[in-house]
Structure 1
Amino acid sequence: MARIECLDGLRGIAALWVLVGHCMILTGFFLPILGQPDLGVDLFIYLSGFLMVFQYDLRKSREDWRKPDVWMGFWVRRFFRLSPVYFLLLTVALLAGRAMYADRVLIDTFVGAPLQMPERYIDASAANFLMHLTYAFGLVPGYSYRTPLPDWSLGLEMQFYAAFPFVVLFARRIGWLAAASCVAMLAVGAVVALKAMQIAFPMPSFLALKMHMFLAGMLIAAAGKQKVPYLLLAMGLAAIPIGGQRDVLHLVVRELLLIIVFGLIHWRSTSLFDRASAVLGSPPFHWLGELSYGVYLIHLLILHAVAAWAIARWGHGISSAVRFLPCFRDRGACRLCRCVRNVFAARTAGPEARKEAARHVFPAPACGANAGGGDRCPLISR
């Protein structure tokens, strides 16, 4: 089995979950679970852990993972999988940062949220740019949450890729259950040490904070005929109270997500999971999965301006639920689809076409905090 179709749908749902959650945060509207975008990121992490082991199993007959050149090939593939679109949008985000920060101040003031640190938006320094180009930002608290993009998880992902060959070799030596347990204990020990040294990350961008979640996803792929021990250990790992919110709701949802992913992979013989898998592998969900990475990266660039536009135009004249609808459905969704299309088209185009695509991502000046009553919804100022 070289491809599991339902994974496209799961990726798309995870991206949509993050998008909806951020729409709610930026409009002051809230629904339980849907208004928690961090849970969508946790689903992404499960899927990432699963896919890396799944791909390893497909390749292990022709690749000797004891050789460093195999590790290097893996790292190069993963780097170029993530980086082209990310570097393009990183450049746009840093250039647009001041306009986005003006929008965010307007939004947070209106909805009564604490103001964001300005450095997250306005630091376009060479040092910040270099830290993100090298993906080293996730290791340094002061740089781990310092762009308008939700890219803290990309630094986390790259750290996971760096560690993955060593986890695989360890698992080959002592078995997946023992290896996952040992690596999780090392991660927890690292988190305890960070706390003792009073080192805190604004987001869980350091691998030790989320390694237990990656390991849970890896165990889904590693489960053989004896599935129950793998599922039970994965659930135990997902319940470790580090690297995110620790309330009962988050714990329950994380466990349910893990069971659902496990069931879609291993319990296809049951009618419920078979029908769900077929739906998630259908063309609309496949399309959503293909767009998921671009949607995840670009959506905050769009939503800041759309939410600021809705606030500037209607203010308290509409409820937060009504304000959420144009941000998510009309202007936000339509512009988001156009932007993702342009960005992905630029990946295979020449230099001039890439410049043109980047220009069309942000075609008009921003209204943001300076907006009047007009109905335009541009994104950045010239």
Structure 2
Amino acid sequence: MDIRRVECLDGLRGVAALWVLIGHMMILTGFRLPLIGKPDLGVDLFILLSGFLMMYQYRLRAGSEDWDAPGTWAAFWTRRFFRLAPLFYVTLAAALIAGPSIYADRVAIDSFLGQALQPAERYTDASLTNIVMHLTFLFGLLPDYAFRTPLPDWSLGLEMQFYLLFPFLILLGRRIGWIPAALVAAGGGVAIALLAGAAGLDYPMPSFLPLKLQLFLAGMLIAAGPGESLAWLWVRLGAAMLLAAIPIGGDQDLLHFAVRELLVFGFFALVHWRSLGAIGWVSRLLGSRPFYWLGELSYGTYLIHLLILQPVAAAVIGQFGTGLGAAGRFVLTGAIVVPVTYALAFVTYKLVELPGQRLGKAMIKRVAGGSTPRALQTVPEKIAAP
């Protein structure tokens, strides 16, 4: 693997965010297509990419960071916090303020489409407890708070739990090997998930890390070290696909199983076989300038889109009712929602995300005594939680 750049990462994270957006548009307009109408699979792709990138960056920084030192862990956690938190806090404030209005829109949508109504508290709970749980990213640990804002933020709590665990996974992998460490961690995750289920913890979304840890670990295994043999790469691929097949966390029907396996295999191919024919062409396409920007705006797109989508879908339904079919509702809603969402994602990328990342780097530099190793300055921090 060329350790300098993995071209497909930019495009894949952009595709994952667009997948989630389109899937939610289908749910809220009544238009259905197979596969693309499953936004949870777009989140699974994000999780896979996140596991890969954390391991990839660890390898890039291996010569300049001491992972036995708590300071390295603190720098890692600081970088990741300032990658996620600034935009999340901005959109969380907007969601809490607009929550009652968005809930009324969602009731109108679900009533028109004959879907079960969402719990009111998911949209209207502006209690101090709910706010504190979200500001601290602890909400994903508790079923009652894991899905309690108008945002699709359950995966952010999940992502933060993975970041918290990541240094311990690194230490375990260095001690017993990366594949054994991944299998041990996955086994522990399954055991904890089963115990949580037996204790009556019923998560409305798989926001608890043991429910999705296997996909993070699969992504980590795809980030093979330089110089590994072809045979060992096949072993890594087999282990990653085995992890992705663990039947916990989210829907477990045949379609979801098959797509998760294809996501692992396809991503592995784009990373390790990108010099081959059509695979190379796809990899270069995903690394092209348009896909680069699609990826840069992916985090904002993911966080913002439901705040725009639900009012617009409700307005389209209110204006046209049954006079416009599902396909028409989907097209008209998308014509409004997609450009507005990406425009807002661009604005918040410039005004919130980038300043937040710079603030995080400045804090690390200050704590480090005014100097930051070059590896910490130049390695990109591009993958955010979906």
Deviations 1:98-150 (A, max 9, x none): 00000000000011111000111000111111110100001111000000000
Partner of 1:256: 262
Partner of 1:136: 138
Which of residues 104, 116, 119 in structure 2 aligns to 1:117?
119
Deviations 1:220-279 (A, max 9, x none): 003632101110011011011000101101111111111110001101221121111010
Which of residues 298, 307, 311 in structure 2 aligns to 1:305?
311
Q: Report the alpha carbon displacement of residue 348 of structure 1 after superposing the two structures with TM.
A: 7.5
| Equivalent-residue separation in structure 2 for 1:59 and 1:313 (angstroms) | 55
Which shifted more, 193-202 or 45-54?
193-202
Partner of 1:193: 195
Deviations 1:155-193 (A, max 9, x none): 000000000000010000000111011000000000110
2:237 is the alignment partner of 1:231: yes
Question: What code does the residue aligned with 1:345 have?
Answer: K
Q: Which runs of 4+ in 1 moved over 6 A?
A: none
2:61 is the alignment partner of 1:59: yes
Which of residues 2, 26, 29 in structure 1 aligns to 2:28?
26
| Equivalent-residue separation in structure 1 for 2:139 and 2:171 (angstroms) | 27
| Equivalent-residue separation in structure 2 for 1:149 and 1:198 (angstroms) | 25
Partner of 2:380: none
Partner of 1:42: 44
Tell me, yes or no, if the aligned pair for 1:176 and 1:222 is still in contact at 8 Å.
no
Question: What code does the residue aligned with 1:86 have?
Answer: F
Tell me, yes or no, if the aligned pair for 2:29 and 2:329 is still in contact at 8 Å.
yes
2:243 is the alignment partner of 1:241: no
1:1-382 aligned within 5 A: 1-222=3-224, 224-225=228-229, 226-328=232-334, 330-347=335-352
Deviations 1:278-327 (A, max 9, x none): 10001110110011000000000000011001100000011111100011
Partner of 2:372: none
Tell me, yes or no, if the aligned pair for 2:30 and 2:113 is still in contact at 8 Å.
yes
Distance 1:178 1:8, change over 3 A: same
What's the secondary structure of 1:96's corresponding residue?
helix
TM-score normalised by structure 1 residue count: 0.90
Tell me, yes or no, if the aligned pair for 1:93 and 1:149 is still in contact at 8 Å.
yes
- Report % sequence identity: 56
Tell me, yes or no, if the aligned pair for 1:212 and 1:240 is still in contact at 8 Å.
yes
**Structure 1 unaligned blocks of 5 or more:** 351-382
| Equivalent-residue separation in structure 2 for 1:269 and 1:8 (angstroms) | 18
What's the secondary structure of 2:340's corresponding residue?
helix
Cα RMSD, aligned residues only: 1.2
| Equivalent-residue separation in structure 2 for 1:98 and 1:266 (angstroms) | 48
Deviations 1:56-115 (A, max 9, x none): 000011101011110010000000011111100000000000000000000000111110
Distance 1:52 1:348, change over 3 A: closer
| Equivalent-residue separation in structure 1 for 2:234 and 2:139 (angstroms) | 38
Deviations 1:184-226 (A, max 9, x none): 0000000110111111100000000000010000000036321
Tell me, yes or no, if the aligned pair for 1:295 and 1:340 is still in contact at 8 Å.
yes
What's the secondary structure of 1:222's corresponding residue?
coil
Partner of 1:365: none
| Equivalent-residue separation in structure 1 for 2:13 and 2:253 (angstroms) | 25
Tell me, yes or no, if the aligned pair for 1:8 and 1:286 is still in contact at 8 Å.
yes
How many residues are treated as equivalent by the alignment? 349
Name which structure has the greater RCO, CA cutoff 8 Å, separation 6+. Answer: 2
| Equivalent-residue separation in structure 1 for 2:72 and 2:341 (angstroms) | 37
**Structure 2 unaligned blocks of 5 or more:** 356-386
Tell me, yes or no, if the aligned pair for 2:86 and 2:353 is still in contact at 8 Å.
no
Q: Report the alpha carbon displacement of residue 349 of structure 1 after superposing the two structures with TM.
A: 9.7
TM-score normalised by structure 2 residue count: 0.89
Distance 1:299 1:153, change over 3 A: same
Deviations 1:11-49 (A, max 9, x none): 000000000000000001111100000000000000000
| Equivalent-residue separation in structure 2 for 1:28 and 1:151 (angstroms) | 23
Question: What code does the residue aligned with 2:30 have?
Answer: G
Distance 1:259 1:349, change over 3 A: closer
| Equivalent-residue separation in structure 2 for 1:8 and 1:269 (angstroms) | 18
| Equivalent-residue separation in structure 2 for 1:61 and 1:178 (angstroms) | 23
